[in-house]
Structure 1
Amino acid sequence: MSIRIVYTANDRLARRRAVTLILPLLSFSLLTGCSADAKHPISSPGAAEASEASEISALTTELDAPWSIAFHGETTLLSERDSGRILEIDANGNQREAGNISAVSGVGEGGLLGIAVHERYLYAYFTAGEENRIERFTLTGAPGALELGEPQTILEGIPSASYHNGGRIAFGPDGMLYATVGDAGDSSVAQEKSSLSGKILRLTPEGKVPEDNPFENSPVYSYGHRNPQGIVWDAKGILYASEFGQNTSDELNIIKPGGNYGWPKVEGIASDDQYVDPIQQWDPAQASPSGMTIAGDSIWIANLRGELLREVPLQDTSTSIEHLAGEYGRLRDVATAPDGSLLILTNNTDGRGTANNEDDRLLRMELG
């Protein structure tokens, strides 16, 4: 097995092309971990060292197009895109249906997408009829017997389509609800601040517009996005987002309040002060980044077309390290469990992958 370390130059012009170096290792095992060193041919950001992965196993199997992972205390919750189910997974991998969101509908990439837990509520982003919406449900019962209460609408009227729905939701360190919204196939509206499409949104837990949002009376936090599907904060409160490009560049961005990320005017590095450039970009065929988490001083990103788990060290976000390449197929989400391990959702039953008789799976990876 090999580990691939990808460097992107810091110089704006040079960063238009990523340089990839493959380092064959004498030995590499997920049971023992590995590290690798390389020199950047354009700039010298230093060596990228892989976090050690001590063990990986399937916690549960035979999921139906799973999309998102959330935690209620020590309990793991999953969403299934097509069935509309919220599943409770115990420590032994046993599955139990905590609820079924009956309003879920949609074709293609639509359906039940992101979920998040905040205080006593489960929040869900899903397709209903001809729109996407965010609702919350009271979580009642003890672990092993969780139930969803009646829905409360947080935000409705989000444009939907058979693709580019975005769909990731998460609560930030400020206690606010953030949601990634795709352009729903209409790229022109990503630059229109009056539209919810092609945006990252910021709301109070009750669905109100925070007074300190960058645009008055608007949930829009950043704009010019094509199809962002991952958001995560580091210990300093910096917000990172992953985004699907079209033909040129998938992106890892630092999200700034009111920032314009260029779509559809530009894709990837623009070298134009009107737009916020990504801190890292990849060929879409090797990436398609979706869910993200932070663990062990690194950002971890699940990749669909690339069929890999990408690690971006926080100490040098111009580098990345590829794990599990081609081993489990398409990866939709990754989350840091309460015990510090990584939980990873495969996504081979979504109509685009090649499923085997155990797919889809929730994998557990321990970090050394």
Structure 2
Amino acid sequence: MNLKRSITAVALNTCFLLLIVLNFSCADSNKKSGEDTSYQKHLFKKTLETSQLAVSVVATDLDYPWDLCWGGEDSNILWFTEIKGTVNQLNTDTGEIKNLLKLDDVLVKKSYGLLGFAVHPDMEKHPYIFLHYTYSKNDEIRSKLVRYTYKDEKLETPKILLEDIPGRSYHNGSRIVISPDDKIFLCLGDAGKKRLAQNTSVISGKILRLNLDGSIPIDNPIKGSPVYSRGHRNVQGLVMANNILYSSEHGEANDDELNIIKANGNYGWPDVTGFCNEPYELAYCKDSIIVEPIKEWTPTIAPSGIAYFGSSKIPEWTNSILVGSLKGTSLRVLKLSSDGTKVEGESVAFNRQFGRIRDVIVAPNGDIYLCTSNKDWHPKANPEFYSDAKLPMIDDDRIIRIRQASDDLKNSLIEMTEKQTPVDNDGMANGIAGAGMAVYQKFCASCHKADGSGSDGFFPPLSKTEGVGDKERFMKSVIEGVSGPLVVQGKTYNQDMPSFKFLTDKELADVLSYVRASFGNGHPSITEDEVVKYKELLQN
């Protein structure tokens, strides 16, 4: 009897243990193999018309990330670069980050370093990644396009495809796209020399088209030239979707752009910004065929990386271009027409939630990833402009994931609190001082600071300076712009100042008078009539 009870007990215990094992096995079978989402930090949820989005941080403490690329249709690997010259892989299932490359010849300062980056979409057939970065040659800034081979989880065999590209401390671009027909598209800024953008014998201010080995395609619009389009100031975003190549571009003081890039297209810079709608642009547009943008922004938002969202996972955003905004500190969602050639609507998401957004990408499963750029030079030079956001934020710089929220996250996450842009220009525009302050906040404060103190080494102060006190000189600087070295209070500044001639005569008079009366200056106002007369002198 005792033996029988023992056998029975063993059998029951064995069955019980087997049931436990089976239960655990069934539970695990519902979980993606190798996935461990515990590494991510959930921030909040955002509710759209019908969708609820879960927002989480998947990578922290990065050093000025620039570019995000996906590793293939079935991959869980997100490639990302940092401007200091590193190429990294993020496993989006586990959060593990692996460094694959650290460039030893990259020249890094301000907004140049490792810039454009692309992973070939068919890595089995073409195991290549492409880098565009700045380097020093004879104490001058240059840049080059380099192809690496990805083999055994390593990057090796670098091949220079294009080098000795003229550079400067700003306007180097860049982004890279590999098209379905295996062509490289590389966008380059004007390197601070405006007129080069229209000169097809040089590659500054252009979008280039090359074969994967760096040779020039025989069907390029200009025979024997890599130039595909011209008239670009500083393209910062590039994406191809449904055989349409879209780009985002920084305007000077107005007219940031979203463009559709066409072979041999002229995008106008520096003669035209945005649409052909200003009096000084109409004559040029009449004599030249200019490709106008499908979207422009004034005041500027500094659009950066862009991505096409074609997924149905977030139906409100299906068939949209997603635009990361630096100055605008938001994600812009541009709803496209059915043929993709027009912008039919714009919404602003995550306004002032993450700070400056450098790049955005859509994963094959419809998840959205974006990277911040809060540790770069701009917040350091302009802390007051971002004072409400306190940039850099905790854990910056970060990679953030946006996806449809699961049922448990819908119930557990708090709703995102909408943040408003702190400057209420309409409310401030009361009287000349208020109107002038409103114009100043829109167009000037991001460089010269709200208190006119400027940014040491970048933008000169406006407080008690000779250039502000001299009425004609000040009007000339604001209306015509300033190029080349400028000495203010014994310090040299070499950052070009754009022309603000697109402002109305009243807006010019208001902002000129505001600066002359503020920041301890105490100079008399400039009237609208004086602005009109000065413009007439320029025309004569």
- TM-score normalised by the chain length of structure 1: 0.83
Corresponding residue of 2:143: 132
**Aligned counterpart in structure 2 of residue 113 of structure 1, from 112, 115, 131:** 115
Q: Is the 8 A contact 1:244 1:284 kept in 2?
A: no
- The structure carrying a bigger helix percent of its residues is 2
Percent sequence identity is 37
Within-5 A mapping of 1:254-269: 254-269=260-275
Cα deviation 1:19-40 (Å, max 9, x = unaligned): xxxxxxxxxx9735324xxxxx
Describe how 1:320-359 pairs up with structure 2 within 5 A. Answer: 320-353=346-379, 354-359=391-396
Spell out, residue by residue over 1:219-241, the C-alpha distance to the aligned partner (whole angstroms, 9 max, x if none). Answer: 11100000001111222x11111
More RCO (CA 8 Å, sep 6+) = 1
Q: Distance in 2 between matches of 1:173 and 1:148?
A: 23
Distance 2:372 2:366 in 1: 19
Task: Name the counterpart of 1:93.
Answer: 95
What is the aligned-residue RMSD (CA, Å)? 1.7
Q: Which residue of structure 2 lines up, in the alignment, with residue 313 of structure 1?
A: 335
- Aligned-partner Cα distance in 2 for 1:137–1:102: 14
The counterpart of 1:301, out of the listed 320, 323, 341, is: 323
Alpha-carbon deviation of 1:367?
4.9
1:364 aligned to 401, 405, 415, which one? 401
**C-alpha displacement at 1:195, in angstroms?**
1.0
Q: Identify if the C-alpha distance between structure 1 residues 172 and 30 changes in structure 2 by more than 3 Å, giving closer, same or farther.
A: farther
Whole-Å Cα distance in 2 between the matches of residues 281 and 61 of structure 1? 32
* Letter of the structure 2 residue corresponding to residue 170 of structure 1: V
Paired letter, 1:312: L
- Name the residue aligned to 2:56: 57
Distance 2:188 2:332 in 1: 22
- Specify the SS of the correspondent of 2:78: strand
Which one has a bigger Cα radius of gyration?
A: 2
**1:352 match: secondary structure:** helix
Query: Per-residue displacement from partner, 1:107-152 (whole Å, max 9, x unpaired)?
Result: 22110012111130111110011211110111122xxxx2210310
Contact 2:336 2:344 in 1 (8 A): no
CA–CA separation in structure 1 for the residues paired with 2:269 and 2:292: 11
Q: What does residue 174 of structure 1 align with?
A: 181
Partner of 2:306: helix, strand, or coil?
A: strand
The aligned counterpart of 1:151 is 158
Q: Which residue identity does 2:374 align to in structure 1? A: N
- Specify every segment of 5 or more residues in structure 2 that has no aligned partner in the other structure, as ranges: 1-42, 121-125, 278-284, 310-317, 380-390, 406-540
Of 160, 171, 178, the residue aligned with 2:167 is 160
Question: 2:55, 2:46 → 1: CA distance?
Answer: 11
Aligned residue pairs total: 318
Shift in Å, 1:283: 2.1
Between Structure 1 and Structure 2, which shows a larger proportion of strand residues?
Answer: 1
Q: Which 5+ residue runs of structure 1 have no aligned equivalent? A: 1-28, 36-50
SS at match of 2:196: helix
Name the amino acid aligned to 1:203.
L
What amino acid is aligned across from residue 353 of structure 2 in structure 1?
E
Q: C-alpha displacement at 1:72, in angstroms?
A: 2.2
